[in-house]
Amino acid sequence: MVSVEDFGEYETEWCPGCGNFMILKAIKRALAELGKEPHEVLLTSGIGQSSKLPHYLKCNVFNGLHGRSLPPAIGAKVANHELTVLAVTGDGDCYGEGGNHFVHNIRRNPNITLIVHDNQIYGLTKGQASPTSELGMKTNIQNHGVFNTPLNPLSLAISLDCSFVSRGFAGDVDHLTELIKKAIQHKGFSLVDVLQPCVSFNKLNTFKWYSERVYRMEEEDHSPKDRVKAFERSLEWDERIPLGVFYVNEKPTFEDHLEILASGPLVKNKADPEKVDELLDSFI
Ligand SMILES: Cc1ncc(C[n+]2csc(CCOP(=O)(O)OP(=O)(O)O)c2C)c(N)n1
Ligand code: SF4
Ligand SMILES: [Mg+2]
C-alpha cells in the first residue's frame, strides 16, 4: 500500500503561509490515495515558486525552462505511456511564457494532468503582474494598475474543447485532493487551475479574499457534459467563484493516435542497432 510518507518530506524555499504548501499536500495525498508508487510518477515543471514543487517530493522529476513544463511532459508520455505524468506550473509559466504550449497541448490531448498554481502574480521574480492579475491591481512595475484584460484560463480551455477542465483552491485541501485524483484518472488532457494565495506579493487575492468568494459546485447544480453551461460558469468571478469540474469531454488521446504505442511503451522496446544502421543508410 502506498502512503503519503512514501513521497518524502523535504525542506522548501517557500515563504511561511504560502498556498503552495497545500497544493504539495494535495498532490501527495492524491497520488497515495490512487496507489501510485513514486517510480510510476513523473512531475515536470518550468521556472517559478510553483515550479519548485517537484523538488519537494520523491518521484521522477524534470525541471526545465520557463514556460516549458509541457514539452517534456508530452515527450515522456510518448516514450512511456504507462507513466503517470503531471506538469506542475504557475500562472506566468503556463498562461504567459508557456501560453502556446497550453493551447496546442489542449488540442493534442495527451493523457497528462496540468496543475497550475494560479496566484495571479509572478511570485519568484517578486511581484509583477501575470496574465491572470486583476484589472487595476498595482504592483512595483504596474504602478498605475494593471490595464491588460486578464486571461480566463477556464474559458480559454473550454473554448478549445479541453478534455477536462477544473478549478480548485489551495485553502480547501480535501476538495483539491479529490479534483487532482479525478484529473489523474481522466484519460486525456486535464487542467486543474488552483487558486493559490501568494502571501508575500499578492496583497489583493488573499486567503480571506478567496475564502469569502469560493464555493463548491455540486453535481446536481452543474453538468460537466454541457459545454455552453460550463463556459457560462467559467465566466463567474468577483462576488462568487465556482470550484470543481467545469467540463469533461472524453475523446481519443494523442497517444491513441500513435499506432506504434499499441504494442507497449517505447521504452520497453529492445534497441536493434542493425535497424538504426539501415535507417541511417537510407539517408545516403
Ligand atoms: C524566458 C524567461 N523569461 C523570464 C524569466 C524570469 N522569470 C522566472 S520565474 C518568472 C515568473 C514566474 O511566475 P509564475 O509562473 O506565476 O510562478 P510563481 O513564482 O508565481 O509560482 C519569471 C518572469 C525566465 N526565467 N525566463
Ligand atoms: S513569493 Fe509568494 S508564491 Fe512564492 S513562496 Fe512566497 S508566498 Fe509563495
Ligand atoms: Mg504565479
Q: Say what the alpha-carbon torsion angle 250, 253, 259, 265 is, to the nearest 10 degrees.
A: -120
Are 10 and 44 in contact by the 8 Å Cβ rule? The answer is no
Q: How far is CA 87 from CA 123, 147, 279, in A?
A: 18, 30, 33
pLDDT tens profile 168-177: 999 999 999 9
What nine digits make up the cell of 175?
476538495
Phi, psi (deg, nearest 5) at residue 131: -60, -25
- pLDDT for 220: 78
pLDDT tens profile 235-253: 999 899 999 999 999 999 9
- pLDDT for 219: 78
* List of E strands, 91-206: 113-118, 164-169, 190-195
The protein residues having their C-beta less than 5 angstroms from ligand 3 (an ion) are: 90-92, 119, 123
CA gap 128, 126 in Å, rounded: 6
Q: Which residue, judged by its Cα, is nearest atom 8 of ligand 2?
A: 18
Stretch 119-136: mean pLDDT, rounded?
98
Phi, psi (deg, nearest 5) at residue 190: -120, 120
Stretch 100-128: mean pLDDT, rounded?
98
CA gap 114, 110 in Å, rounded: 11
Report the separation in Å between the CA atom of 198 and the middle of ligand 2, taken as the mean of its atom positions: 5
Report the separation in Å between the CA atom of 214 and the middle of ligand 2, taken as the mean of its atom positions: 21
| Mutational pocket test of ligand 1: of 21, 124, 132, the residue with most ligand atoms within 8 Å of the beta carbon | 124
Q: What is the atom index within ligand 2 of the atom nearest the CA of 117?
A: 3
Are 146 and 137 in contact by the 8 Å Cβ rule? The answer is yes
Let me know how many helices (H) and strands (E) the chain has, helices first.
9, 8
pLDDT at 127 over 90: yes
pLDDT tens profile 7-44: 999 999 999 999 999 999 999 999 999 999 999 999 99
CA gap 43, 88 in Å, rounded: 7
- CATH number at 74 reads 3.40.50.970
Q: What is the atom index within ligand 1 of the atom nearest the CA of 66?
A: 26
Stretch 152-167: mean pLDDT, rounded?
98
Are 201 and 184 in contact by the 8 Å Cβ rule? The answer is no
- pLDDT for 238: 86
Q: Which residue, judged by its Cα, is nearest atom 5 of ligand 2?
A: 14
Strand bridging mode 190-195 / 241-248: unpaired
Are 198 and 126 in contact by the 8 Å Cβ rule? The answer is no
Strand bridging mode 113-118 / 60-63: unpaired
Report the separation in Å between the CA atom of 65 and the middle of ligand 1, taken as the mean of its atom positions: 9
As for how many domains the chain has, the answer is 1
Cβ(199) – ligand 2 distance below 6 Å: yes
pLDDT tens profile 188-204: 999 999 999 999 999 99
CA gap 68, 94 in Å, rounded: 8
pLDDT tens profile 32-81: 999 999 999 999 999 999 999 999 999 999 999 999 999 999 999 999 99
Report the separation in Å between the CA atom of 120 and the middle of ligand 3, taken as the mean of its atom positions: 6
pLDDT at 164 over 90: yes
Q: Which residues contact 6 (CB under 8 A, 6 or more apart)?
A: 32, 37, 38, 58
What nine digits make up the cell of 141?
512595475
pLDDT at 104 over 90: yes
pLDDT at 216 over 90: yes
Cβ(31) – ligand 2 distance below 6 Å: no
- The chain-wide mean pLDDT, for the chain, equals 97
pLDDT at 155 over 90: yes
- pLDDT for 218: 86
Cβ(90) – ligand 1 distance below 6 Å: yes
Domain that holds residue 268: 4-282
Instruction: Specify burial of residue 23 (Cβ count, 10 A radius: 0-12, 13-18, 19+).
Output: buried
pLDDT band at 272 (very low <50, low <70, confident <90, very high): confident
Helix (H, G, I), strand (E, B) or coil at 114: strand
